[in-house]
């Protein structure tokens, strides 16, 4: 069951109390979560699952995610206000992204948050060229758009989460929003492998011995490294040269907070990239 945003915030506040201060990446993440949780709160009473059982079953059968861009209920004034706050947070932590505070603070919602730009982001297409005018790193632009739209995706996903028949999906993209996974876990019960959506934090079950990016099942191309405690695994694929970080919940002593794990394992990203592997996103 995905962890709620408020539970992650609580955990981070507790951690800060105990340790005095949070490392900069976690502090950044907490600030983002505060804005996102506020948006989620405003959306909570408005959204309801808009799909019939039949429609859901049909989509799952056909491999069509349950939310298309046009079905995503975006409240533009709320989205724009969230974007402005989020942009400010990215600007305050500009050094984490090798960017400049001024450049980030200058980003305008009127350029980034057009319907066509968001649709392109959602459908994983190249962003319009108007967005890259200031030589801004495209990955960073993608991250900012993502952070602003995330509470809408999460809120919408929550209304549909329970209707996923896990055994009938098992595809390499998110059953709810179509996003790629960026983290995985092996469950505590049977060691089954689950993927975590990079966009809406939905979890879905997937084959242990298959690459979630290029779908190869050739075992000569797939392997993993684990840390000394056996808690983390870095799965790599020689076919597409991508990696996915994985936590083995059978080895965990405490509760694992998956979205937070993305930030607790930044060293694994560094190592994987140094070894020549790429993360899930495609910068186009």
Residue 184 binds Zn ion (CB under 5 A): no
Q: Binding Zn ion by CB under 5 A: which of 107, 154, 160, 200?
A: 200
Residue 177 binds Zn ion (CB under 5 A): yes
In whole angstroms, give the CA distance from residue 59 to residue 68.
11
**Which residue's CB is nearer to Zn ion, number 112 or number 212?**
212
**Which residue's CB is nearer to Zn ion, number 113 or number 153?**
153
Residue 164 binds Zn ion (CB under 5 A): no
In whole angstroms, give the CA distance from residue 160 to residue 199.
15
Q: Within 13 Å, how many C-alpha atoms sit on residue 198's CB side?
A: 22
Residue 193 binds Zn ion (CB under 5 A): no
Tokens at 9, concatenated: 């915030």
Q: Binding Zn ion by CB under 5 A: which of 118, 127, 154, 211?
A: 211
Residue 127 binds Zn ion (CB under 5 A): no
**Which residue's CB is nearer to Zn ion, number 236 or number 260?**
236
In whole angstroms, give the CA distance from residue 78 to residue 20.
33
Binding mask 19-58 for Zn ion (x = CB under 5 A): ----------------------------------------
Residue 8 binds Zn ion (CB under 5 A): no
76-92 and 24-43 helices, crossing angle to 10°: 170
Query: From the CA atom positions of the chain, what is the Rg in Å?
Result: 19
Pairing of strands 181-186, 232-237: unpaired
Phi then psi for residue 260, to 5 deg, are -70, -30
* Count of residues of this chain found to bind Zn ion when the rule CB under 5 A is applied: 14
- Shortest distance (Å) from residue 90 CB to Zn ion: 22
In whole angstroms, give the CA distance from residue 85 to residue 66.
29
- The residue to which tokens 């506020």 are assigned: 38
Residue 258 binds Zn ion (CB under 5 A): no
Residue 140 binds Zn ion (CB under 5 A): no
Give the residue from 242, 246, 244 showing the smallest Cα distance to 278: 242
**Which residue's CB is nearer to Zn ion, number 127 or number 174?**
174
| CB atoms inside a 10 Å sphere around CB 119 | 14
Binding region for Zn ion (CB under 5 A) out of 8-16, 67-75, 115-123, 234-242: 234-242
Q: Cα 201 from chain centroid?
A: 6
**Which residue's CB is nearer to Zn ion, number 136 or number 212?**
212
**Which residue's CB is nearer to Zn ion, number 93 or number 277?**
277
Q: Binding Zn ion by CB under 5 A: which of 81, 214, 257, 264?
A: 214
Residues near 75 by beta carbon (within 8 Å), at least 6 away in sequence: 42, 43, 46, 152
Residue 67 binds Zn ion (CB under 5 A): no
Under the rule (CB under 5 A), what is the footprint of Zn ion?
Answer: 174, 176-177, 179, 197, 199-200, 202, 211, 213-214, 237, 239-240
């Amino acid at each position: 069951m995905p962890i709620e945003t408020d539970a992650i915030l609580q955990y981070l506040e507790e951690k800060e109390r105990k340790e005095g201060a949070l490392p900069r990446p976690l502090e950044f993440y907490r600030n983002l979560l505060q804005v996102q949780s506020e948006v989620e709160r405003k959306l909570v009473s408005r959204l309801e699952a808009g799909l019939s059982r039949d429609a859901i079953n049909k989509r799952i059968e056909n491999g069509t995610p349950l939310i298309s861009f046009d079905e995503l209920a975006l409240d533009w004034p709320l989205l724009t206000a969230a974007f402005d706050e989020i942009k400010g947070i990215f600007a305050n932590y500009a050094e984490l992204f090798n960017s400049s505070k001024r450049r980030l603070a200058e980003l305008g919602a009127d350029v980034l948050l057009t319907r066509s730009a968001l649709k392109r982001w959602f459908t994983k297409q190249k962003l319009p060229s108007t967005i890259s005018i200031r030589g801004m790193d495209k990955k960073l632009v993608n991250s900012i758009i993502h952070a602003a739209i995330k509470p809408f995706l999460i809120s919408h996903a929550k209304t549909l989460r329970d209707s996923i028949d896990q055994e009938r999906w098992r595809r390499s993209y998110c059953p709810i929003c179509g996003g790629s996974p960026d983290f995985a876990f092996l469950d505590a019960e049977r060691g089954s492998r689950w993927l975590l959506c990079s966009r809406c934090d939905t979890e879905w079950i997937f084959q242990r011995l298959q690459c979630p990016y290029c779908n190869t099942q050739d075992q000569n191309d797939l392997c993993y490294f684990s840390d000394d405690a056996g808690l983390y695994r870095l799965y790599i694929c020689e076919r597409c040269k991508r990696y996915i970080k994985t936590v083995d919940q059978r080895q965990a002593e405490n509760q694992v907070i998956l979205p937070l794990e993305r930030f607790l394992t930044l060293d694994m990203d560094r190592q994987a990239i140094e070894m020549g592997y790429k993360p899930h996103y495609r910068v186009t």
